[in-house]
Structure formats: structure tokens, C-alpha cells
Amino acid sequence: MLFSSLQGHLFESLRVKYGLKNDINSIVVEQNELFYFKSEAVIIILNSLPFRFRLLGRILNLIPIVLMNRVYDLIAKNRSMFYRKKCDLNNFTKFNNKILE
């Protein structure tokens, strides 16, 4: 799995190439030239991780996407309650080989 910023040149070129909206402000996963957003993207990520996370992904997959996206939006809107400091991909040096830009 590789990571890129939504504000970077790489994602901008993908956005234009595939005709994605200009105002995307959620997590995005591209898999086989298909793009997944919000809770669907989270489930795909969970399913690529070790067993306990895959199990959580399979459980979440049983919940309707509309409801999951509402929960995703609620968490995203209030994420400062969950995380005290800003996340910056550049701070994760052990993942440098997975960060595209």
C-alpha cells in the first residue's frame, strides 16, 4: 500500500485523468483503477492489514455504506477530540518508502 497527499501533484493528475471531483476531502483508495472514498476506503485498508483488522473490516462491511459514511463524517468532523496533534505523513520516517509525495 502506498500513500499520497490529496493536495499533491500525483493525486491531482489521477483526479484529472479519472474525472474525480475537485473538492474531495476524505480518504481515497485506488484499487485496479477504481476509487473508493470514506468508509469504503477504510474497509479496503482494514482488509489489507493483519487478521484482527481484516475481521473488523468484514464486520464493518455488513453495515450499509450510507450509515458508515455518516459515522465517518461525524468522526472526521470531530477528529480533534480523538487526536491531539496534527498528522503529517512526513513524520513517519519508517514509511518513507511508501509515501509517494
Widest Cα–Cα separation across the chain:
36
pLDDT of res. 98: 60
pLDDT of res. 84: 63
The one-digit pLDDT tens for each residue of the chain (101 residues) are: 667 778 888 888 888 998 988 888 888 888 888 899 999 999 999 998 999 999 999 999 999 999 999 999 998 888 777 666 666 655 656 556 666 66
Q: Where are the domains of the chain?
A: 9-98
R_g over Cα of the chain: 14
Buried b (16+ CB within 10 A) or exposed e, 23-35: eeeebbbbeeeee
Distance from C-alpha of 72 to C-alpha of 19, rounded to nearest angstrom: 24
